[in-house]
Amino acid sequence: METPLLSVIIPVYNVQDVLPNALHSVLCQGVEALEIILINDGSQDNSLSVCQAFAREDPRIQVIDQQNAGPGAARNAGLKAATGRYISFVDSDDTLEEGALQALLDAAQGQQADLVIAHFNILMGDQCIDRGYIKADTVMDRPAFLHALARRPGSYYYSALWNKLYSRQLIEERGLTFDHSYNWGEDFDFNMRYYHHVGLVSFVKKPVYNYRRTYAGQTWRTMFEVGDSFKIKSRLYRKLKGLYLHAGLYNKYRGHIYRYIFNVTLST
C-alpha cells in the first residue's frame, strides 16, 4: 500500500456489537490513501476477533493487541504505529458522517492548516443535534483561534478528539502523547498541549462525526465524584492557563480562563 495520507486511530475495548458500525463508517469514506489502526485494549469479549476479521478483508486495517491499559495508552500505541500525514481519532461506539474524512482533509490541505475542527452531531435517543461554535468554513490564525477557544474551552467542540484532524509531523516533532493518568480529561490535556504549537486552524461547518451520548460507563461515573473531579479539573485548568501564558495572552483572557474550573465539564 502507498504511504497513507491519513491514519485513523480507533481504541477498542469490549465493543464487539458496535465496532462493525464504526468500521463501516470509516471504510465507506472513499479515501483510499488511508490506514486504520485498531488497538484492542485487552477486550474480554470477541472484539479482537472482529478486528481481525475486518483486517483480513481490507489491507488498510492494522490490528494491535495489547493488555488493558486504558484509551490513552491505546491511542499512544496508535500514534506510534501511524504513518499518515494526518491523524484522526474515532471512538469505537460512534460513527463518521458520509464525506467526513474528505471534508477534513480538504480543509487541512487547502489552507496548510495545523489543525481542523468541525461540527459534530450529538445522538441522544431519537435526537440528532448539530453542535459547533464556528458557523462557517473559515481559517483562523493563532490569536483569533485562542480568542475563540477562551470562550468555551471545556466544550466538546474544542476539547474532544473526534471532530478534528491533526498533523502527525507536529505531534512527532513536539513529542506529544496522551497522559493516561487521568480518569477522564486526557483528550482536553492532549489538545491544550497540541494547541501550543498550532499556527493556522481551519474550521468546517459540516458535521463530520456522530457522537452517541450515553450515561453509562466508568468515565461518566467518575466525573461526578466531586473530590476527584475537582482535582482533575484543577489539573486541566493549569493546562489551559499554561497555553495562554505561553502565548502571552493570559492577562487578556484571565477571566474566561478562570471560569473554566467552575463551569460544568460536560458543556457541549
C-alpha cell at 27: 471504510
**pLDDT level of residue 215 (50, 70, 90 thresholds):** low
Question: 258-267: which pairs have CB atoms within 8 A and are 24 or more residues apart?
Answer: 260/153, 260/154, 260/236, 261/233, 261/234, 261/237, 263/154, 264/154, 265/154, 265/185, 265/223, 265/229, 265/233, 266/223, 267/152, 267/154, 267/155, 267/156
Q: What is the pLDDT of residue 161?
A: 98
Pick the residue with more confidence: 23 or 180? 23
Q: Are residues 90 and 101 in the same domain?
A: no
The CATH number of residue 79's host domain is 3.90.550.10
**Cα torsion for 261, 222, 157, 148, to the nearest 10°?**
10
For 31-68, how does the pLDDT look when each residue is reduced to its tens digit (9 = 90+)? 989 999 999 999 999 999 999 999 999 999 999 999 99
Residues 118 and 43 in one domain: no
Query: Of 43, 62, 95, which closes a domain?
Result: 95
Tens digits of residue pLDDT in 196-208? 999 999 999 999 9
Largest CA distance in the chain: 55
Q: Which of 45, 70, 95 is the last residue of a domain?
A: 95
- One domain, residues 113 and 165: yes
Q: E strand or H helix at 77, and its extent?
A: helix 71-81
> What range defines the domain where residue 200 resides?
97-268
